[in-house]
Amino acid sequence: MQLIGRLAAEPELTATATGKELVRYALGVSTGPKSGETGERTTSWFRVVSFQEGPQRDLLVGLPKGALIYVDAEARMDTFETDNGKKQSRLNLIQRSFESLSRPQPRDDLTGAESDRSAVEEPLSGLGAS
């Protein structure tokens, strides 16, 4: 699965039960044209985990909330049973690679508006299949 979207929060470095480190993050992917008075687009949220090590992991962990990134990930549907006995399914994405496309624009403290727009704009459709 290939996605282009914005980080919902700073990626989080955590350790597994075996002591191996991984990075977890959520990615918001906006699709479709801007519509309505607010100019809002539909956003889908994806949880992603990365097992990358070294400089790529350090780069990912250092990205701020709102950074626009491209992610190539393996998609897997897992089914599990909740504490109350209900079966649920969840889409899990395991990152193969990523690329930082842009960082969030600083906002003007007085107006709350973005300062100069970046040359990299968010695409109309951020979801594609590999």
- Averaged confidence pLDDT in the chain: 83
**Which pLDDT tens digit goes with each residue over 27-47?**
999 987 776 677 778 899 999
Task: Count Cα neighbours of 76 within 13 Å in the Cβ-side half-sphere.
Answer: 11
* Fold of the CATH domain 2-34+41-124: OB fold (Dihydrolipoamide Acetyltransferase, E2P) (2.40.50)
* pLDDT-based confidence at residue 108 (cuts at 50, 70, 90): low
pLDDT score for 40: 77
More confident residue, 31 or 59: 59
Mean pLDDT for the stretch of residues 40-63: 93
Query: Can you tell me the distance from the alpha carbon of 119 to that of 129, in angstroms, rounded to the nearest whole number?
Result: 25
pTM: 0.72
Residues 101, 90, 44, 99: what is their CA dihedral angle, to the nearest 10 degrees?
0
Asked whether the beta carbons of 126 and 3 are under 8 A apart, the reply is yes
